[in-house]
């Protein structure tokens, strides 16, 4: 490959990488993790704690507390520990 082409590709590749990086505040990053863990718990405990809810329901930031409450009310010890991690 020609050196000029190589330099050009390196330049545009580096520029794209800089533009696509997003900056998250620590609080936003923590919320993203909590939502991801709540979604995982919703799927894992679907038959035990969330059987009456739509299995395709999308958990959002506002639902994390609800998921933790349902895990505490209807779950086993593992569900209780997961709820504790969701809402410390």
Domain containing 34 equals 25-86
Structural domain includes residue 11: no
Whether residue 15 lies inside any domain: the answer is: no
C-beta contacts of 62-68 below 8 A and 24+ residues apart: 63/38, 64/34, 64/35, 64/38, 67/38, 67/41, 67/42, 68/38
Give the pTM. 0.72
Question: What is the structure's pLDDT at 21?
Answer: 62
**Structural domain contains residue 16:** no
Assign 3-class secondary structure to 22-35: CCCCHHHHHHHHHH
Question: What is the model's pLDDT at position 16?
Answer: 64
Residue 30 structure tokens:
């923590």
Residue 4 lies in a domain: no
pLDDT at 11: 81
Confirm whether 19 is domain-assigned.
Answer: no
User: Is 72 contained in some domain?
Assistant: yes
Q: What is the pLDDT of residue 41?
A: 97
The count of domains in the chain is 1
- List, in order, residues 6 or more apart from 81 with CB less than 8 Å away: none
Low-confidence stretches of the chain (pLDDT beneath 50): none
Residue 74 domain flag: yes
Within-domain flag for 58: yes
């Amino acid at each position: 490959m020609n050196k000029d082409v190589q330099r050009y590709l390196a330049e545009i590749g580096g520029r794209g990488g800089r533009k696509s990086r997003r900056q998250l505040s620590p609080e936003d990053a923590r919320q993203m993790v909590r939502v991801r863990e709540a979604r995982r718990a919703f799927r894992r405990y679907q038959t035990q704690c969330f059987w009456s809810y739509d299995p395709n329901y999308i958990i959002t930031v506002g639902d994390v507390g609800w998921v933790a409450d349902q895990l505490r009310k209807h779950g086993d010890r593992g569900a209780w520990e997961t709820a504790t991690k969701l809402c410390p």
